[in-house]
Structure 1
Amino acid sequence: MSVDKKPDQEEEFPFLKNGKLAKEKPHKDIRCGFWIFKGPFLQRLATEKAYVLIYGLGGCLMSMSIAYFTGTLTTLEKRYKIPTKLSGLIIVGNDVSMMITSVLAGYFIHKGHRARWIGFGYFTVIIFCLLTSSLHFIYGPGEDALKLTRQFGDYDNSSDFMSIAHKDHKLCMTTDPGCIEQDGTWVPPLVMFIGQFIAGIGISLFWTVGIAYMDDNISKEKTPAMLSISAFLRMLGPAIGYSLASVCLRVYIDPELDPLIQPGDPRWLGAWWIGFLVLAGVTFIFAFLMTMFPKELPSAKVRRINLEESGMQDPKEHKDLSISDMVRSIRRLVTNKVYMYNTFASSFYLFGYFAYWIYTPKYIETQYRQSASVATMATGAIALGFSAAGVLISGFVVSKYKPSGRAMAAWNACVDFLTVAGILCYVVIGCEGSDKLSSMAVTSADNCSASCHCEYVHYAPICSPNNDTYISACHAGCTDKVKDQLGRTLFTGCACVAPSNSTGVPNLRYAVDGACPVDCTKEFIIFLVVMCLLKLIGSSSKSTSLLISLRCIKPEDKSLALGLGGLISSLSAFIPSPIFFGWLLDKYCLVWGKTCSNKGNCWLYDTESLRYAFNLTTALFIFLGGIFNVLVWHHAEDLKIFDDEPSESNKADDKVDNIKLNTKGEDVKISEKLENS
């Protein structure tokens, strides 16, 4: 059957209704593209699968950008001399903007062109990347980096450069060398914070608007699988972001210069800015593609019209976008017990587990004495792989077996309690050798090094023949250093070291450069196994918790509910959690890298006390989240997650295949009339 459109129907989309043509809204709302970027090929992309793919990959790039910034943060601190406490405030910038924009975006963009708003959110990530990378082009590689290159050092080899350009302040000194001055500036931290703040707006749009658009344009039976697929794609972002940071930091900050030091040197500054340019370029492609999607997918429009024809939905039902109506909507949400209990459960879980997301690399380095590269790989690639698997498995199980809302809430509670049990295992998975290193915290008040002026000597551990580690040669009272036959650096005249004649020289007090070896491989592997199991189990509740939030509210409150949930999460978890656990880590610091202006960063922790305090605190908050999930289970008895007759709701998807649209809006043809429609 073919129906040609009459001239007076130029901007109307006809559907079969009781054997007659029914006029609907202009079909430009379901047409892909804009301006000159439109055509039959683009119209084929107006599908649920295409949206989930672009949305998921865009989210992957968004999480890659944030993870890349975190991976290069230590290099940025060294380059622009930023204290750790200030870098923590910079990271919180995106959470502050999310908190401000989430509710407003979720409510007022509900009736707008949501796909283009999501694309705008991707463009904010591009601005974040370009703003951050612009610091390199404004300030250059820096004097400290230039001094360590052959072109600017004017030395034939690194040994000449090191011996002439630097004095050794690690030894015991008879005069006070003074504190270390910092010549930083306030502009780079401000630019980074602004970039993070702008990126937070995009993240808010991605969550509040993107998920609501997906849920409104995809049938309820497909939503769990689509949510899991998009979550899986997003979770690849941090792993790839950390890997990209690792690759870029192996290149010197100015690739055209020839450095005199190797990447293992603590003064090495990698090309942190390259990755931001790469991410900005790739993100631009997906931001452009996202803006191509229509205001409403064709399949969703057919489903909506079917509901209106059957009387299940009022076609004239439009909310008045006003502040007073938003207040009434918020009041309706906060009195929804299932929604609020589920939101509080997520907030407590996030408060506790967000600490592992940020500080797991540091935890692995301090507790199990692993290198930064190993710790990052374990956190970013291995563990997140199990998280992605958990999301996919849970999405498959939910889509196949369609559990009730109460069953999902019960599983969420079980996940929380299993996570608490795993975290309690962290408490007992300690390394004795690592705990022993805490005893090296010898202060300058000790008699053997009291007159050595070690207060501002940086952390440079040495190992005595008795396998005792000291903070530095100064703290061990060493007065000189030599090279032995094996090329090792020996510090001699160490007043705090017991005499030894192992070198053939009687009563020689010496120590070897570097900390005493500690083997925590076994404990680290056990920790890694437990962590991967927790990632697998914990990620399985992501889609179920989100489904409960989407189904326990009215459809018109969906975007606002996501925005309100983001606001509560930011206020109760994402902003206070890094600050609180950062304070907790500093509380158990034994050795600080002091400077003239502040106490600097921490070099040595009381690992045993920190392990108990850190893990037990996180376990407490996650346990409270489990209690709230039990309350969700109690009140979710009548919660409906899926349609009663999924085959009926999918008729719209079949019907769309029989509708052909041309992009100019001149002809609309219905190729075949559905029976019993």
Structure 2
Amino acid sequence: MFVVIYGMACCFLSMGSSYYSGTISTMEKRFSIPNKVTGIIGVGSEISTVLCSASLSYYASRGHRPRWIALGFLIIILFCILMLTSHFFYGPGEEALRLTEEYGSSEFVNTILNSTQKDDSLCHKKDSNCIEDTSDYKPIILFFIAQFIGGIGCSFIYAPGLSYMDDNLSKANSPRMLSFSTFLRMLGPAMGFSMASFCLSLYIDPFKKPLITPEDPRWMGAWWLGWFPMIFILLIAAFFVGIFPKETPKARVRRLKAADKGEMDAAIGDPSFQDMFDSLKRLASNKVYVYYALGSIFYCYSYMPYWSFTSKYMEIQFRQSASTSTLAMGTWPFGFSAAGVLIAGFIISKYKPSARTMAAWNFVLDYIRVAALICYALVGCDEGDRANLLTIIPSGDSCSASCDCEFVYYAPVCSSENVTYISACHAGCTEKGLDDLGRTIYTGCKCLGSFLNQTLISNETSLVSQSPSVVDGACPVNCDQQFLIFLAVMYLLRFVSATGSSSNQLLALRCVSTKDKTFSMGFSTMMLTVLVYIPGPIISGWMWDSYCLVWGKTCGVEGNCWIYDSRSLRFTINLVSAFLIFLASFFNFGIWYYAKDVKIFDEEETSATRCQDEVLDLKDKPNPTNADKQVD
């Protein structure tokens, strides 16, 4: 019952984490947050993990672990509340409201009635003021505090929960139950990304009618809406986890028997600093644990650019909407991962492979991951890459040099030649109106002919189009085929990689003594946090920002990035990640070499032991049935 309840509770916890990841690109647009600042926000949870993980895990292992876990969920609820309140404090933002019918139509009518009024989206001489800086660091600080609090909550949940399950299960049942719990937890990201996809399909202010569609890069979805149900779901989860006992009756019997036989690992003493220091020395001399921890560092670094920005990767590389990217990231891949975990758990429980066999399979998986990441690097949308480069060429052209375009809002327009410009200003347009279909159209665009003269001259014959107008919105780019190939490779990789999840957990739990189990997990989490989770998001955010082509600008301040050099970004991220996993494979080889003495399973239980367990069960039943009496 604990496996089911705890698995579902962690499912809801990972649901909140994936919801945050699915909405982060919209949050960047709303609050003009660069990727490197987003990485700093994410570091908040890692800092609290460093401060709390090892010590809390140690003391939780000596206390009532289910109640510690319930407290962790209550702290996560506070994290959700802080994320939600930022929208009510600061609203949808002026930039989003400009694109609604309530705001936009009145602006357009005023422009028509008063032809002398200046439209900032058009080409004007360089005598206008830049856009005032509307960014505010208060919501960024609020997000950081929320992440800091969330990290404290997670420190109470994962390590105590896994060790509680492993301590209260027989070693023969642990692989199956741990796999089932992991399966339930993996349903959370699918649910979280699906909820994020639904929320992002709604406009950031659901009570207003937007003038753009979700496919428009300026679209901002209702990123804040999903935190409402998360609060109530986690509250219910905290209650049900907290009502479990400190130790199950069967586990108590096994522990007392082990103590009688002189196996002191089963007896856990009172917490003390000296005992914690002794545990640390034992872990440092455990080669399997050390190789496992070092390999995890490289492995986590390799996937750092994806954990927070996978949906954004799909938006940039394959020109998908935020809603579509989040849905593709959140539903099917985790279904494949869950299937891999269940199959691996069944195989491990049935065939009981040795620790070296499990380590060897993890070693093979590393090279499968390397091959998949190389495929990621090769699968890109050439049409989208060309569109990104074409977009920025006109901005420095002489035809728009006299226009004050540097601080114009990012508002892409499309010419009849299917060329996207950053804005009507960058296309040199001087007038605005509506065409017969009701679309916003910009005319008098002097940059169209100049741009084509420079790029489409063949055999000294100019192919200049005579069309002087552009329409609102970016030109359509078809990357669906490449997107489907990418999804197929990703889903296959998720399935294969998930088969190593159960064996990884078992190796981490079994390579240390029973009394060091919870502390070892907390300490490894703390070490990964210091070396990976704190610098990692900042480094990956810097990597993304270094390939930005068009920034949203205000007076002297850069906001979020609107257009990336997607081809260079794709090769850098994937090839660097593949190299890091290749390095991690050497540590998995070290685990294989030293894991020969690691005992994953106990000897088969004797019939007398099984009979005692059955008797213990019957004693807990107040009114045994006739069938129970026969068994007795």
Same fold flag (TM > 0.5): yes
- The Cα of 1:549 is off from its aligned counterpart by 1.1
Unaligned runs of 5+ in 2: 453-463, 623-627
Give the equivalent residue in structure 2 for 1:91: 42
- The Cα of 1:242 is off from its aligned counterpart by 2.1
CA contact (8 A) 2:258 2:266 kept: no
Give the equivalent residue in structure 2 for 1:476: 427
Give the equivalent residue in structure 1 for 2:455: none
2:275 and 2:265 map into 1 onto residues whose CA distance is 20
Change (3 A) 1:162 1:397: farther
**More displaced 10-residue stretch of structure 1: 491-500 or 620-629:** 491-500
Secondary structure, aligned partner of 1:355: helix
CA contact (8 A) 1:352 1:577 kept: no
Q: Which amino acid aligns with 1:608?
A: R
Give the equivalent residue in structure 1 for 2:616: 656
Alignment of structure 1 residues 300-311 onto 2, 5 Å: 300-309=251-260, 311=261
- The Cα of 1:435 is off from its aligned counterpart by 1.8
2:386 and 2:285 map into 1 onto residues whose CA distance is 53
In the alignment, which of 143, 146, 156 is matched to residue 205 of structure 1? 156
Secondary structure, aligned partner of 2:156: helix
Change (3 A) 1:659 1:307: farther
Richer in helix (by share): 2
Q: Deviations over 1:109-159 (max 9, x none)?
A: 221111110111111111111233234455566677778788x86x98786
In the alignment, which of 322, 325, 334 is matched to residue 372 of structure 1? 322
1:289 aligns with 2:226: no
In the alignment, which of 163, 173, 179 is matched to residue 124 of structure 2? 173
2:238 and 2:61 map into 1 onto residues whose CA distance is 20
CA contact (8 A) 1:228 1:392 kept: yes
Give the equivalent residue in structure 2 for 1:390: 340
2:527 and 2:269 map into 1 onto residues whose CA distance is 24
Q: Which amino acid aligns with 1:217?
A: N
CA contact (8 A) 2:33 2:560 kept: no
Give the equivalent residue in structure 2 for 1:408: 358
TM-score normalised by the chain length of structure 1 = 0.83
Alignment of structure 1 residues 471-550 onto 2, 5 Å: 471-498=422-449, 507-550=466-509
1:163 and 1:652 map into 2 onto residues whose CA distance is 88
TM-score normalised by the chain length of structure 2 = 0.88
1:623 aligns with 2:582: yes
Change (3 A) 1:179 1:83: farther
Q: Deviations over 1:53-103 (max 9, x none)?
A: 111111011111222233333444455555544333222222221222111
Change (3 A) 1:532 1:466: same
Larger radius of gyration: 1
In the alignment, which of 466, 474, 494 is matched to residue 417 of structure 2? 466
Change (3 A) 1:561 1:493: same
Q: Which amino acid aligns with 1:325?
A: D
Change (3 A) 1:643 1:447: same
Q: Which amino acid aligns with 1:553?
A: V
Q: Percent identity?
A: 46
CA contact (8 A) 1:173 1:452 kept: yes
**More displaced 10-residue stretch of structure 1: 105-114 or 260-269:** 260-269
- The Cα of 1:476 is off from its aligned counterpart by 2.4
1:190 aligns with 2:141: yes
Secondary structure, aligned partner of 1:600: strand
- The Cα of 1:555 is off from its aligned counterpart by 0.8
- The Cα of 1:334 is off from its aligned counterpart by 1.5
Q: Deviations over 1:244-299 (max 9, x none)?
A: 233334556566x4546566377766554442222111211110111110010112
CA contact (8 A) 1:250 1:263 kept: no
- The Cα of 1:52 is off from its aligned counterpart by 0.6
Q: Which amino acid aligns with 1:409?
A: A
Change (3 A) 1:259 1:606: closer
Secondary structure, aligned partner of 1:72: helix
1:478 and 1:645 map into 2 onto residues whose CA distance is 81
CA contact (8 A) 2:15 2:191 kept: yes
CA contact (8 A) 1:81 1:182 kept: no
Change (3 A) 1:268 1:531: closer
Give the equivalent residue in structure 1 for 2:567: 608
Residue correspondences, number: 610
1:348 aligns with 2:271: no
CA contact (8 A) 2:394 2:421 kept: no
Give the equivalent residue in structure 2 for 1:313: 263
Q: Which amino acid aligns with 1:658?
A: L
Change (3 A) 1:483 1:156: closer
| Pairwise CA RMSD | 3.0
Give the equivalent residue in structure 1 for 2:459: none
**More displaced 10-residue stretch of structure 1: 159-168 or 53-62:** 159-168
2:467 and 2:231 map into 1 onto residues whose CA distance is 59
1:316 and 1:546 map into 2 onto residues whose CA distance is 20
1:163 and 1:399 map into 2 onto residues whose CA distance is 74
CA contact (8 A) 2:132 2:555 kept: yes
Change (3 A) 1:316 1:123: closer
Give the equivalent residue in structure 1 for 2:194: 243
1:447 and 1:92 map into 2 onto residues whose CA distance is 44
Q: Deviations over 1:496-546 (max 9, x none)?
A: 32389xxxx984433343333322211111111111111111122122111
Q: Deviations over 1:365-416 (max 9, x none)?
A: 2211122222111111122221111111111111111110000101111111
Secondary structure, aligned partner of 1:594: strand
Unaligned runs of 5+ in 1: 1-49, 663-670
